[in-house]
Structure 1
Amino acid sequence: MHDHTGFKERVDGVLVRLADEEEETLLALHTELFPLTEQLRRSLARGKRIRAAFLYWGWRAAGQPDCEAVIRAAAAMELVHAAACTHDDIIDGSRMRHGQLTAHAAFDAAGQRSTALAMILGDLLMGYAGHLFTSCGLPGAYLARTVPLWTALMRETMAGEFLEVLRTAAAPAREPRVAESLEVARYKTAKYTVERPLQLGSTLGGGPGALSEAFSAYGLPLGEAFQLRDDLLGTFGDPARTGKSNLDDLRGGKPTALLALTLEAAGEDDRRLLAKLVGNPELVPEEAASVRELMDRCGARQRVEDMIRDRIGRAAGALDTVPMPAEARSALRELAGTAADRSL
């Protein structure tokens, strides 16, 4: 079994050192930047380091050995994720993540211009991602061949976020559709969480085109399963375990596959209930419970579980289509289970 705890500690070490170095540099510019350095450190303090793991095992699948340089390159994926989460929390109005105040909520609690400062933090995190990746210590020729993938990762992530915002704002005139929800999941989550980190790792390692293709066949369904699980956690999850609210998605009317499937199966009376409650920013827990009951009763929740199971199976099968070291194959099978089969 892959020692993910040990791997996570190595990635955490890289991020702590980055936070230390940047805190010193920023405070040397001006001591009033302390709130920025504080939130920078907090935004990097938690996480399962799944994206870093995918880049690492993409590298190992290409036949390359373990080294500290690739750990630094992998850690850059966590900076991309921290940046995306910071911006996503602003867009969604989410105030809790990992059981702590989100960046914009923390700035707000301190009486500061919350949205503006959190946007700056998110931009800074994305800049640090590029810096850490390009200064990781791998040869310049290795890094150069990843430029198209790095560009694609940025483009696709922003496209997914943009589409979700457009489609959320379009409600209730435009009901969510399953295919459109999965399209957003593909760009917003699947590609930057699984597919692109794997391909960045294998491309850094000089892996063949067939390996990159297999990683698309593995990464896209697994990334969709990851987002589908996130959708379930966002509505049915226990905040004490997930560290975030289970009301935000319903209050925001987020066009998830779960909501789309519920609308497909709902009768006229249930549709009226959904129209009244979903998208209401003042939704209370008792009302949310009635929406969850409907999602269970109409079979939407189970259908999402079935979709997750199907995608995990497809991802696992893709690993058998291309040669790779046994350790890498085993680690990726393990990651497929843990990434999308998280507890409610």
Structure 2
Amino acid sequence: MTQTAEMTDSSLPHRPVLDTSSSLRAIDDATTELELVEEVLTAHFRRHALTLRKVGSELTPAVDAVGTRIGGGKRLRAAFCLWGARGAARGLSVPGVVELASAIELFHFAALVHDDVMDDSDTRRGLPTVHRHFADTHRAAARRGNSDTWGTAVAILVGDMCLSWSDDLVAAAVDTVGRDTRQAVRATWTEMRDEAYAGQYLDMLSQTEDHTDADRTERVLRYKSARYSIGQPLRLGGTLAGAGAELLADYDRIGLSAGEAFQLRDDILGVFGDEKITGKPAIDDIREGKRTMLMALAEESANRMERRVIADCLGNPELDADGAARMREILESTGALERVEQRITELAEDALGVVAGASVDERTRQALTSLVERCVWRRS
């Protein structure tokens, strides 16, 4: 089990967070599977990079941009996939699961590259986003054409490449399994992608409207985050290992509860988080007009003057630090922050309850417990 500590960030008082310096080892203390995921991703990227470089040295900047960004991250999706398989296999390692977990991470990387374009984000994990990086280098070199258009075009291409490379890894993962298992894994993979795309579309649609649609907010939570981040990775691993219907149903329940809590925490960090820890400015979500549950609850409880501030600030690309501070004050004064924190706690308890009763070996149970806690009580 991982260690917990008390947050010192004054904007998020009295909330336990995990000591992330030791949490990975607690999850992976007797295996090298998460380390193997990094190795598979690196080797897979290098093979494709070699092909690109053979075409011409002009491809080097694109290759380098992916290479410097593909490593790292929380790897929570990969970990859920790995332990979803071990849970179905009674703690044993499952052939192909490392490739499958790597495919999920590569798909996620591609989705982030595209998501940053859609959100017009400047940074990701402490680095310039791909589209911003190429726009800046285009501008610095005084090349012809519009720099921002060029940056967007390259980011779309980079994301597309990584999406196709993730499919290659899925094919490798199911190469040696039987037909039924192969078809079941592919069907789950396809469903995961479609749901993630649909959730992203609904999220973008919400940013075009003046008021928050509570039902749509719930669906974005479910499909863009909950099932995609936790439920489907668990199911993918379990399906590859031949999990029965009862265990897959438990995985779905864990995914929905822990996944929604994961996204709700992300929404809080998107407004109250420490930029040095999250790697992303805490003003971006407000500027982009993210209509999260946090915002929905604030609008619901706000007085007329507070609603006016929300309307002026949410989705305002020119929002400054003072405007963001006013929004944070309203999110606290209306009780929205407290209510979301309470909902996170309820969802975490539900997920941990399912983990406690799931038909898995004790080591897998402990690992899944630790993973759920990492999702819920995190600072990045």
Aligned partners of 2:89 and 2:196: how far apart in 1?
A: 28
Q: Which amino acid in 2 is paired with 1:117? A: V
Deviation at 1:181, TM superposition (A): 1.4
Instruction: Tell me whether 1:253 sits opposite 2:289 in the alignment.
Output: yes
Which residue number in structure 2 is paired with residue 292 of structure 1? 328
Which residue number in structure 2 is paired with residue 39 of structure 1? 65
The answer to whether the 8 Å contact 1:251/1:281 transfers is yes
SS, match of residue 146 in structure 1: helix
**Unaligned residue ranges in structure 2 (runs of 5+):** 2-25, 139-146
Which residue number in structure 2 is paired with residue 149 of structure 1? 188
Which residue number in structure 1 is paired with residue 13 of structure 2? none
1:163-201 deviation per Cα after TM superposition (whole angstroms, max 9, x unaligned): 11111112x2xx114432121011111111100111111
Which residue number in structure 2 is paired with residue 114 of structure 1? 151
Aligned partners of 1:23 and 1:151: how far apart in 2?
A: 26
Match of 2:110 among 83, 86, 92: 83
Instruction: Tell me whether 1:56 sits opposite 2:82 in the alignment.
Output: yes
Which residue number in structure 2 is paired with residue 96 of structure 1? 123
Q: Which amino acid in 1 is paired with 2:184? A: R
Deviation at 1:94, TM superposition (A): 0.7
Which residue number in structure 1 is paired with residue 262 of structure 2? 226
Aligned partners of 2:228 and 2:301: how far apart in 1?
A: 31
Greater shift, 211-220 or 7-16, is seen at 7-16
Which residue number in structure 1 is paired with residue 35 of structure 2? 9
Aligned positions of 1:299-314 closer than 5 A: 299-314=335-350
Calculate the TM-score normalised by the size of structure 2.
0.86
Aligned partners of 1:340 and 1:251: how far apart in 2?
A: 25
The answer to whether the 8 Å contact 1:11/1:49 transfers is no
Which residue number in structure 2 is paired with residue 28 of structure 1? 54
Which residue number in structure 1 is paired with residue 165 of structure 2? 128
Aligned partners of 1:67 and 1:60: how far apart in 2?
A: 7
Instruction: Tell me whether 1:167 sits opposite 2:206 in the alignment.
Output: yes
Which residue number in structure 1 is paired with residue 280 of structure 2? 244
Deviation at 1:144, TM superposition (A): 2.8
Match of 1:315 among 351, 356, 369: 351
Match of 1:204 among 240, 247, 261: 240
Identity, % of aligned positions = 35
Which residue number in structure 1 is paired with residue 144 of structure 2? none
Aligned partners of 1:67 and 1:25: how far apart in 2?
A: 30
Deviation at 1:286, TM superposition (A): 1.1
Deviation at 1:140, TM superposition (A): 3.6
Aligned partners of 2:183 and 2:51: how far apart in 1?
A: 28
Q: Which amino acid in 1 is paired with 2:250? A: A
Aligned partners of 1:189 and 1:41: how far apart in 2?
A: 26
Instruction: Tell me whether 1:280 sits opposite 2:316 in the alignment.
Output: yes
Aligned partners of 1:139 and 1:306: how far apart in 2?
A: 45
Aligned partners of 1:7 and 1:257: how far apart in 2?
A: 35
Aligned partners of 1:167 and 1:145: how far apart in 2?
A: 33
Greater shift, 317-326 or 73-82, is seen at 317-326
Deviation at 1:42, TM superposition (A): 2.5
The answer to whether the 8 Å contact 1:217/1:315 transfers is yes
Aligned residues: 341
Which residue number in structure 1 is paired with residue 221 of structure 2? 185
Aligned partners of 1:92 and 1:34: how far apart in 2?
A: 26
The answer to whether the 8 Å contact 2:106/2:163 transfers is yes
Aligned partners of 1:190 and 1:197: how far apart in 2?
A: 10
1:302-330 deviation per Cα after TM superposition (whole angstroms, max 9, x unaligned): 11111111111111111244311111111
Q: Which amino acid in 1 is paired with 2:287? A: R
Aligned partners of 1:3 and 1:322: how far apart in 2?
A: 18
Which residue number in structure 1 is paired with residue 8 of structure 2? none
**Unaligned residue ranges in structure 1 (runs of 5+):** none
Instruction: Tell me whether 1:333 sits opposite 2:369 in the alignment.
Output: yes
